[in-house]
């Protein structure tokens, strides 16, 4: 099942929303490569990109939550740490075993579903924080 960007995923920070859209594209690309039997090199290349991209994105997003004094900042940070641990475990499994049906299911459950759930559940909480932190314009 491919992820798609929805307006309900907006965070109130354009740069973060653009990063989420790119993350969704790359996760979908990884799933397509795995399902279509692409070579281990292609899958590992996509995993490498995702590893770097998520770390940068998580740092950017956490900084925005801190800047907006968002009450969800710590929960978000901990969820990111959990994701990185799980991602690295799956990456090691793929290196050791290759792309197998159980690993494809694990990537779907532990990465793809997590991304969608996390954006909709945690990251969108940033929108209210940004709105609260933005001074009302003087008319």
Total residue count of the chain as it appears in this document: 139
pLDDT in tens, 120-138: 999 999 999 988 887 765 4
User: Distance (Å, rounded) from C-alpha 134 to C-alpha 73?
Assistant: 17
User: Distance (Å, rounded) from C-alpha 33 to C-alpha 29?
Assistant: 6
pLDDT in tens, 7-49: 999 999 999 999 999 999 988 888 888 888 876 777 788 888 8
| 49-58, 65-74, 100-109: least confident range | 100-109
Domain boundaries, the chain: 14-128
Q: CB atoms < 10 A from the CB of 17, how many?
A: 19
CATH code for 14-128? 1.20.120.50
User: Distance (Å, rounded) from C-alpha 125 to C-alpha 120?
Assistant: 8
The whole-number pLDDT of residue 112 equals 84
Mean pLDDT estimate for the chain: 88
């Amino acid at each position: 099942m491919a992820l798609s960007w929805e307006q309900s995923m907006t965070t109130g920070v354009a740069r973060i929303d653009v990063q989420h859209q790119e993350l969704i594209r790359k996760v979908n690309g990884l799933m397509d490569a795995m399902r279509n039997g692409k070579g281990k090199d292609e899958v590992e290349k996509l995993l490498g990109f995702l590893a770097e991209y998520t770390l940068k994105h998580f740092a950017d997003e956490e900084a925005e939550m801190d800047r907006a004094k968002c009450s969800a900042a710590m929960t978000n940070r901990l969820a990111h740490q959990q994701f990185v641990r799980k991602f690295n475990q799956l990456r090691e499994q793929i290196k050791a075993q290759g792309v197998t049906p159980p690993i494809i299911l694990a990537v779907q459950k532990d990465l793809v579903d997590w991304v969608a759930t996390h954006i909709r559940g945690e990251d969108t909480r940033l929108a209210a924080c940004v709105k609260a932190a933005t001074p009302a314009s003087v008319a």
